[in-house]
Amino acid sequence: MTGLRVVESATQPTRTSVERCQVLGVLNVTPDSFSDGGRFVSLAAAVARGIELVRQGADIVDVGGESTRPGAVRVDEAEEARRVIPVIHALSAAGVRVSVDTMRASVAEQALDAGAVMVNDVSGGLADPAMLPLIAASRTRCVLMHWRAHSEVMDAFADYHAVVDEVGVELSMRVDAAFAAGVRADSIVLDPGLGFAKSAAHNWSLLAGLPVLRDLGFPLLIGASRKRFLADCVDHGGLAADSPLDRDDASSAVAALAAAGGAWGVRVHAVAPAAAAVRVASRIAAAGTGGR
């Protein structure tokens, strides 16, 4: 990210000057997330994990208090805020750059007040009509993801004739809605929403179509980490395709390819290998353009 604020603290490693894809480390403070639910539900465990993610190479820690796995049932607003706000406040006070993963404007507002620097809305502003006006008023960076329905029913909406084109059109509609609400163009990051109302074939097509999505003219965030479509690649080394943790190698491969393809950021659970992957991609890109 241009103009990355470097916080000099024990939790923030020194950055190089090479421009590269950003690494968002996933911190789920939920009991029911698909791969790590229940591991970081206490404040102490969550804060320790967030600091660990930065030490492993995360540029931003993405804190979420509501599972969006397929079939997940929504938690109420008060419970979501109870889970995430103390964690964001503590991590921000420790010098960690934090984003909040929420579809609720009220939670996003509290998170920004607690020190968050970005809002990651998987609904792209569709779930809460107050979200885009909040983003505009706060002038904060936001991620607008492609989304068609809540997790309980989203698989029923995985119907496309040309998934890359349709996702591109629907993301453009979210950009138009953001502009209409007063959101600045330089605040917007787009996410094609891998795994959200998408089949495995749709996800692979979207990754192959990354150049088309880049032509929308906005930074792209890719969130493939540990998702079930990566089970297609877990057929070696005695790994278990149905284990999300055994998809980490495939997740890091996607991170490398996304970074090489010009993605602004990757959202990952296993930060250290993804951090290495995006650095390799940036070095190769620099060498290919005559950099040193």
Q: In 3-state terms, what secondary structure has residue 147?
A: coil
Find the helix packing angle between 200-208 and 248-260, rounded to 10°. Answer: 30
Distance in angstroms (rounded) separating the CA atoms of residues 221 and 201: 19
If you search the block for the tokens 């989304």, which residue do you land on? 147
Q: In 3-state terms, what secondary structure has residue 252?
A: helix
Closest CA to 103 of 75, 140, 137: 75
Q: Which long-range contacts (CB under 8 A, 24 or more apart) does 33-40 make?
A: 33/64, 33/67, 33/69, 34/67, 34/69, 34/70, 34/226, 34/244, 35/226, 35/244, 35/245, 35/269, 36/269, 37/67
Bridge partners (DSSP) of residue 64 are 28, 101
- Cβ neighbours, 10 Å, residue 10: 10
Catalytic residues: 227, 267
CB hemisphere CA count around 4 (13 angstroms): 23
**Do the Cβ atoms of 101 and 127 come closer than 8 Å?**
no
**Do the Cβ atoms of 24 and 58 come closer than 8 Å?**
yes
